[in-house]
């Protein structure tokens, strides 16, 4: 089976840094993805890790530890437009399995 856990909701202040964690227990693993989803819209791709370590893309970074079944998404210099849900997904046997998502509220 596939078990992917994320916090349900987080709140942070504009300009700050926030880390969203994801733990997973899956029957296989071919990569860990992060998607952003604004209310009423389709998910959009943010980052992808297949090897251990940190991947940086502008204000967004993602970290993976395969031995611990753990990933996090780091958002720096938060902006109001970053208020959205963030979905952690494990890519396994050519399928994506999504966590329940973390709703991030950015306050002024």
Partner 1 sequence: SAVISQKPSRDICQRGTSLTIQCQVDSQVTMMFWYRQQPGQSLTLIATANQGSEATYESGFVIDKFPISRPNLTFSTLTVSNMSPEDSSIYLCSVEVLGRNTEAFFGQGTRLTVV
Least distance to partner 1 from the beta carbon of 9, Å? Answer: 10
DSSP notation for 80-98: GGG-EEEEEEEEETTEEEE
Letter string b/e over residues 64-100, b meaning 16 or more CB atoms within 10 A of that residue's CB: beeeebebbbbbeebeeebbbbbbbbbbbeeeebbbe
Q: Which is nearer to partner 1, 13 or 100 (CB)?
A: 100
Decide: is 96 part of the binding site for partner 1 (CB under 8 A): yes
Using rule CB under 8 A, residue 32 touches partner 1: no
DSSP annotation of 50 reads S
Among 26, 29, 31, 55, binds partner 1 (CB under 8 A): 31
Cα–Cα distance measured from residue 23 to residue 107, given in angstroms and rounded to the nearest whole number: 26
64 binds partner 1 (CB under 8 A): no
Binding range to partner 1, per CB under 8 A, among 17-25, 51-59, 66-74, 84-92: 84-92
Binding site for partner 1 (CB under 8 A): 30-31, 33, 35, 41-45, 48, 85, 87, 89, 91, 94-101
């Amino acid at each position: 089976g596939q078990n992917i856990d994320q916090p349900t909701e987080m709140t942070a202040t504009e300009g700050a840094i926030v880390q969203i964690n994801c733990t997973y227990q899956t029957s296989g693993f071919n990569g860990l993805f992060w998607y952003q989803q604004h209310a009423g819209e389709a998910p959009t791709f943010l980052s992808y890790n297949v090897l251990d370590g940190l991947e940086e893309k502008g204000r967004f970074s993602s970290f993976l530890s395969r031995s611990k079944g753990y990933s996090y998404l780091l958002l720096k210099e938060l902006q109001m437009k970053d208020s959205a849900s963030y979905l952690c997904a494990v890519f396994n046997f050519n399928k994506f399995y999504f966590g329940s998502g973390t709703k991030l509220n950015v306050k002024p």
